[in-house]
């Protein structure tokens, strides 16, 4: 039996006027609707705030375009000069090699390679009969100890066609694993290695990076250059903003974990913090701190002259540097990652006067007047024989 029209209208009006029943969440119950709870922003003490401000002040005076300091995943400093924005994209020069270190780890995790010590000639088969090239490993491509000559000019010109095959044809300057040669050749060979490994999926190294990493962490790049053979630039040509690059830093700081998703095996991530045999200050695409002398640090151009020293005195003078510090670097671009301090820092800017140690000292070390001596040290507590006063 059908109801009259006026009965239907009355029923609808009655339903609309019915009082809403409070739900335990404070939202009208709509089945199993989930309510998101905002995570409270972590707090930092006054000393940390002062250090962050000193780091910002140093950066501001050194041709910095953008500075982002994140602790526990939250931005406490987000600074750019007047008229600029911290979200502006800038080209990364040399720093993209840190992306390829992670891609190499995922290639092992996904079964594209047996291990980081798999010989590249297993895939780039034309190397099988070439002395020493036949022995180059995946790890050596990624830590710049492959021996491939570090020429830059052919890769910097627009006339270069297939940069991948150009790199494959480069000569060796040293035997694999012996010498650190910082140049684009190894990275472009890695690009060709990935291209061949991914033939069945019709992907290249960049597409793999976007699928396996960027899409998972919500990272957007402004642009990424390609050559005339549609190969992605491997050593430069990436345009990215500070907040987006910081997302990559958070992934590494959190040992490959994004929320509840373990994107990269934490044991593999640890490799990024382990210096190579050829260079105690470099791993797979990242600069590292290994407690070597300041003189050795200076040879890499990472030290300001006022911090130069040698031997044990040099190590002692920089005892404040966290041993788990790693960073991506290139021409004034920096991504600092310090898990023990729960810090990720991005700096975009010029490189002429920039000193990593001066910046990190401002970021991590209290000035002498703010440092309190340890309990029991000379000058601490009441004079000898005098009892301390008790409150109340």
Place of tokens 């200076």: 298
Task: Please count the other Cβ atoms lying within 10 Å of the Cβ belonging to residue 91.
Answer: 18
Q: Is residue 240 part of a domain?
A: yes
Q: What is the mean pLDDT of residues 331-343?
A: 95
Q: Is residue 178 part of a domain?
A: yes
Q: Is residue 18 part of a domain?
A: no
Cα 75 to Cα 71: distance, rounded to the nearest angstrom: 7
Q: Is residue 342 part of a domain?
A: no
- The DSSP symbol for 347 reads E
Cα 281 to Cα 335: distance, rounded to the nearest angstrom: 15
Q: What is the helix (H) or strand (E) element at residue 239, kind and residue range?
A: strand 236-241
Predicted confidence at residue 161, as pLDDT, reads: 79
Q: Is residue 26 part of a domain?
A: no
Predicted confidence at residue 6, as pLDDT, reads: 42
Query: What is the four-CA torsion angle of 6, 12, 15, 16, rounded to 10 degrees?
Result: -120
Q: Structurally, how many domains does the chain consist of?
A: 1
Q: Tens digit of pLDDT for each residue in 38-94? A: 667 789 999 999 999 999 999 999 999 999 999 999 999 999 999 999 999 999 988
Report whether pLDDT(148) > 50.
yes
Q: Is residue 341 part of a domain?
A: no
Q: CA 70, 72, 76: angle at the middle one, nearest 5?
A: 35
Give 31's contacts (C-beta < 8 A, 6+ positions apart): none
Place of tokens 């290994």: 290
Structural domain range at position 260: 85-336
Q: Tens digit of pLDDT for each residue in 222-240? A: 999 998 899 999 998 899 9
Q: Is residue 130 part of a domain?
A: yes
CATH of the domain at 264: 3.40.710.10
Q: Is residue 164 part of a domain?
A: yes
Q: Tens digit of pLDDT for each residue in 359-377? A: 999 999 987 755 554 443 3
Report whether pLDDT(23) > 70.
no
Q: What is the mean pLDDT of the chain?
A: 81
Report whether pLDDT(314) > 60.
no
Cα 235 to Cα 331: distance, rounded to the nearest angstrom: 12
pTM equals: 0.80
Give 45's contacts (C-beta < 8 A, 6+ positions apart): none
């Amino acid at each position: 039996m059908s109801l009259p029209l006026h009965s239907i209208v009355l029923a609808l009006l009655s339903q609309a006027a019915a009082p809403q029943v409070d739900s335990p969440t404070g939202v009208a119950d709509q089945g199993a609707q989930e309510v998101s709870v905002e995570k409270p922003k972590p707090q930092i003490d006054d000393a940390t705030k002062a250090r962050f401000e000193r780091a910002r002040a140093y950066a501001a005076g050194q041709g910095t375009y953008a500075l982002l300091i994140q602790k526990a995943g939250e931005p406490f400093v987000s600074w750019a000069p007047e008229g600029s924005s911290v979200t502006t994209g800038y080209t990364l020069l040399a720093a993209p090699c840190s992306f390829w270190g992670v891609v190499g780890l995922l290639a092992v995790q996904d079964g594209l390679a047996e291990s980081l010590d798999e010989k590249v000639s297993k895939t780039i088969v034309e190397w099988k009969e070439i002395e020493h090239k036949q022995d180059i490993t995946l790890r050596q491509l990624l830590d710049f100890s492959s021996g491939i000559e570090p020429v830059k000019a052919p890769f910097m010109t627009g006339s270069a066609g297939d940069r991948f095959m150009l790199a494959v044809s480069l000569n060796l300057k040293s035997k694999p694993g012996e010498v650190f040669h910082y140049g684009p050749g190894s990275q472009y060979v890695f690009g060709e290695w990935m291209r061949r490994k991914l033939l069945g999926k019709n992907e290249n190294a960049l597409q793999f990076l976007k699928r396996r990493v960027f899409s998972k962490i919500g990272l957007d790049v402004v642009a990424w250059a390609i050559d005339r053979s549609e190969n992605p630039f491997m050593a430069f040509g990436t345009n990215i903003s500070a907040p987006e690059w910081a997302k990559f830093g958070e992934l590494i700081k959190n040992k490959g974990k994004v929320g509840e998703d373990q994107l990269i095996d934490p044991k593999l991530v640890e490799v990024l913090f382990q210096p190579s045999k050829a260079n105690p200050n470099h791993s797979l695409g990242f600069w590292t701190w290994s407690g070597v002398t300041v003189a050795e640090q200076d040879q890499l151009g990472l030290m300001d002259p006022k911090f130069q020293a040698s031997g044990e005195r040099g190590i002692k003078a920089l005892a404040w540097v966290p041993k788990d510090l790693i960073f991506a670097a290139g021409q004034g671009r920096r991504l600092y990652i310090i898990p023990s301090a729960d810090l990720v820092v991005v700096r975009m800017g010029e490189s002429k006067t920039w000193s990593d140690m001066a910046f990190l000292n401002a970021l991590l070390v209290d000035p002498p007047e703010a440092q309190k001596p340890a309990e029991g040290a000379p000058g601490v507590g009441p004079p000898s024989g005098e009892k301390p006063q008790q409150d109340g």
